[in-house]
Structure 1
Amino acid sequence: MIKKTDVTVIICCAGMGTRLGIGTTKALVDVGGEPLIIRQLKLLDAFDDIRVVVGFDAERVINVVKEYRKDIMFVCNYEYEHNGPADSLKKALLGVRKYVITLDGDTIMNPEDFKRFVEFPNECIAVTENASGETISAMAQNGMVEVLSKKPGNMQWSGITKVQADKLRGTSSHVYEVLTPYLPMTAFPLRLKEINTPKDYENAMEWFVAGMSEE
């Protein structure tokens, strides 16, 4: 059983968010009057080892997070323009606990589903439907994720995982490729929306206003 005291949470929000076109990282997009990253942190109050990977507009992200919580560790990805999400993730792995929960800073999650994900006692990969027009696909069969890929699958994955830290130390710049050698892994259904484009943001806000309960 995975205990919270054995878990490090890593939120990756170093990217520029150019496809969204808001002039800052997607972690600072407004969701119901609050920055998205604050909504994420409110779901993580039970954890005492949280690391936020920053890059583009790092100072703003740090200031916003510190207004809510002072004990967050910040990790800088200075090469955010040239490397991928797995590179950001790996920069935060130094000294982590046995298990890591990974999150992307552009994701709105159903709070009840995420609470169940946090309480789930084993390793798992969160999968969903209709998270974004641009995301990584998952092929899930019999409750297990068998494939993560850019090719079409029957579910979607947007970076939320609970795994042993050593499984995140691969050489690829893409997290799904880093995880591939360890598949199959338990598929955990989680309702969420990922914000990559203006259309994604529009869909996410409609979903948020509807109570984050629609499939």
Structure 2
Amino acid sequence: MPFAQSVIISCAGIGSRLGLATTKALININGKSLIRWQLEQFNDVEDVRVVVGFQAQDVIDEVLAYRKDVVFVYNHSYFETKTGASYYLGARHGAEYAFEYDGDLLVHPDDLKMLLNLDGEWVAYSDKMSDDAVYVKVNPQGEVVSFSREQGDFEWTGPCCIKKQKLRYHSGNVFNQLEPYLPMKGVKIRACDIDTFEDYQRAVVWVQKNL
């Protein structure tokens, strides 16, 4: 990585929309937990911070079985907050730039490598795949100019990168943290976001093809 950044993996949520009675970090995809797939993709990243909340000890045990040097951060208000709070909590004692990665996300390895080597601040997006998508609108310069629950050019899946000093404690989503700073550089990636059980079924196939 060309500059000081921390990777923040947000794994505090309950994952109620998935309907599998477990946090998304621990769902099994082709023989491995989702968090294990993610950690393998960040093997070469020195500073990885995992934000935990629901089933925290189970997530910690799963992470430590693979990697011992991860920094754990608790989101004690995981039931009342969303990923925007976890992003802030994970980033506040980290490096200058905070690389956000949702706990329900997988990115194609080539695209993730590219993102880890991007300078400055950016927002990634992908072609629509999820059932319950948040959309982004992109201007002709390739910048992300807005987020929407109704319509847009592409799907907002994350990840993103922004200076940690711009983050504030926020009970909403990561994109709510980014909205005050739009437009931001946009980067299209191949990614798979898991919100619903149907998304999970697609993720199993996606992993077989891409990881």
TM norm. shorter chain > 0.5:
yes
Structure 2 counterpart of 1:98 = 96
Query: What is the CA distance between 1:198 and its match in structure 2?
Result: 0.8
User: Which residues of structure 1 form unaligned runs of 5+?
Assistant: none
2:9 aligned to which of 8, 11, 21 = 11
Q: Is the 8 A contact 1:53 1:75 kept in 2?
A: yes
- Mean Cα deviation higher: 188-197 or 201-210: 201-210
Alignment of 1:180 onto 2:179: yes
CA change 1:102–1:130 in 2 (3 A) is same
Report the residue type matching 1:201 in the other structure: Y
Q: Which residue of 2 aligns with 1:127?
A: 125
8 Å contact kept, 1:172–1:178? no
Q: Is the 8 A contact 1:130 1:193 kept in 2?
A: no
* Corresponding position of 1:155: 154
Identity %: 35
Q: Is the 8 A contact 2:136 2:154 kept in 1?
A: yes
- Which AA in structure 2 matches 1:139? K
Shift in Å at residue 83 of structure 1?
Answer: 1.4
Of 31, 34, 37, 1:36 maps to 34
Q: Which amino acid aligns with 1:108?
A: L
Query: What TM-score, normalized to structure 2?
Result: 0.93
Note if contact 2:26-2:59 (Cα within 8 Å) is conserved in structure 1. Answer: yes
The Cα offsets for residues 75-106 of structure 1, whole Å up to 9 and x where unpaired, read as 11122111121112222233221101001111
The alignment of Structure 1 onto Structure 2 pairs a total of residues equal to: 210
Q: Distance in 1 between matches of 2:2 and 2:169?
A: 24
- Contact 1:127–1:156, Cα closer than 8 Å, also in 2: yes
CA contact 1:168–1:175 (8 Å) conserved in 2: no
Aligned counterpart for 1:83 among listed residues 71, 78, 81: 81
Partners of 1:30 and 1:127 in 2: CA distance: 25
Displacement after TM superposition at 1:135 (Å): 2.6
How much does 1:18 deviate?
A: 1.3
User: Does residue 166 of the first structure (1) align with residue 137 of the second (2)?
Assistant: no
Match of 1:57 in 2: 55
Q: Structure 2 CA distance, aligned partners of 1:205 and 1:9?
A: 24
Partner of 2:71: 73
Cα RMSD (Å) of the superposition? Answer: 1.6
8 Å CA contact 2:125, 2:158 repeated in 1: no
The one-letter code sitting in structure 2 at the alignment partner of 1:210 is: K
Per the TM alignment, residue 174 of structure 1 is displaced from its structure 2 partner at its CA by 2.2
Q: Which moved more, 1:37-46 or 1:96-105?
A: 37-46
